[in-house]
Amino acid sequence: MKIPVLVLLALLVPGSIPAAEPEWVAPGVELIRGEYTPGQQPDGNSVLLQAPQGLILVDTGRHAAHTQRVLDRARALDRPIRAVVNTHWHLDHVGGNPRVRAAFPSVRVYASAAIDAALDGFLADYRRQLEAALARGADAPTTQAWRDEIALIDAGPALRPDVTITASGARRLAGRRLQLHLQAHSVTAGDVWLFDPSTRVLIAGDLVTLPVPFLDTACPTRWAAALDDLARQPFTRLVPGHGAPLDRAQFDVYRRAYGELVTCAASATAKQTCIDLWLDSAAPLLDAAARTQAPPLLDYYLDRVLRGDAGRIAALCAG
């Protein structure tokens, strides 16, 4: 989840990114993009990597339609999904785990242990918020969306990994050698990102997101350090958690824009000036829809996160 549901429904109405055909990022590496649909929570990007023993899937999305696109693509390739890597515990990246497990019962899911605390903390709080919203009432499509979110949270055990990533290092998944990196207390308490040496593709999860950084569960300063870690990798293409793949020059734009946003937020600079700074600094990465979506999101994050409860941010950065 990115932000509380009632806020997000208001902010993501302008613009929509329709579902598209899978796109090749590199030979054997295919992207199924997440999408923003007006009035709905988003799906994160999913990536399929072909391996000698089948397919490796990075992130499973949130909505049934997105996960079904992934499963349909696996069937079109006539290859089983042998391994899933969840970059982090947000529902738009792990929500499809139960459906993938049902379709491929032998699949193994790899992720950090951060979802355990999230299910007892952030996601439990979100569930209570959804229950309260349901009690107040809304139109039928909206209440169904809230019930779907509750069902995802209640699937807790099916969202958890089979194999917990506790340290960075090389792993062979489904016969393909990858480098899995564990980043502590950045976007979440434990983020996993992948580097594929054979194609020089880096799959960053929500360490890179557009149209803005999604900061709800993040430690802003450690996120900046994580971007420095990504910059040290010899990648040629980077797949973000949300948005289109970036080359190195585009990633450098994102990294600088992120640093400028956090620095601006820490100063006495007017909020609108910080918003405009992001729009200017990240301009090469933002299409028309993204430029419409970004300002209300940044307005929220500056008030509630970057200039919000200092104690809460300190807790997110601890460890």
Tens digits of per-residue pLDDT, 256-272?
A: 999 999 999 999 999 99
The 8 Å CB, 24+ separation contacts for 115-123 are: 115/86, 115/89, 115/159, 115/160, 115/161, 116/160, 117/189, 118/89, 118/188, 118/189, 118/217, 119/153, 119/156, 119/159, 122/1, 122/217, 123/1, 123/89, 123/91, 123/153
* Best CA proximity match to 149, nearest among 90, 74, 215: 90
The C-alpha atoms of residue 310 and residue 319 are separated, in whole angstroms, by 16
Under the banding of pLDDT at 50, 70 and 90, the label for residue 155 is: very high
Q: Degrees (nearest 5) of the Cα angle 227, 248, 3?
A: 45
The per-residue pLDDT for range 189-239, each reduced to its tens digit, is 999 999 999 999 999 999 999 999 999 999 999 999 999 999 999 999 999
pLDDT for 5 beyond 80: no
- In percent, the amount of the chain with pLDDT more than 90 equals 84
Distances (CA, A) of 185 to 50, 60, 83, 315: 30, 22, 25, 10
pLDDT for 135 beyond 70: yes
Q: Degrees (nearest 5) of the Cα angle 252, 255, 261?
A: 140
pTM of the model: 0.93
pLDDT of residue 231: 98
Strand partners, 242: 209
pLDDT of residue 38: 62
Homologous superfamily, domain 5-317 = Ribonuclease Z/Hydroxyacylglutathione hydrolase-like (3.60.15.10)
Neighbour tally for 313: CB within 10 Å: 18
- In percent, the amount of the chain with pLDDT more than 70 equals 92
Contacts (Cβ under 8 Å, ≥6 apart) of 104: 74, 80, 81, 82
The C-alpha atoms of residue 94 and residue 92 are separated, in whole angstroms, by 6
The shares of helix, strand and coil residues in the chain, as percent rounded to the nearest 5, are 45, 20, 35
pLDDT of residue 19: 52
pLDDT for 8 beyond 90: no
Under the banding of pLDDT at 50, 70 and 90, the label for residue 162 is: very high
Average pLDDT of the chain to the nearest whole number: 92
Under the banding of pLDDT at 50, 70 and 90, the label for residue 165 is: very high
* Best CA proximity match to 158, nearest among 109, 112, 113, 192: 109
CB-count exposure of residue 311 (10 Å: 0-12, 13-18, 19+):
exposed
Under the banding of pLDDT at 50, 70 and 90, the label for residue 7 is: very low
Mean pLDDT of 291-319: 91
Contacts (Cβ under 8 Å, ≥6 apart) of 267: none
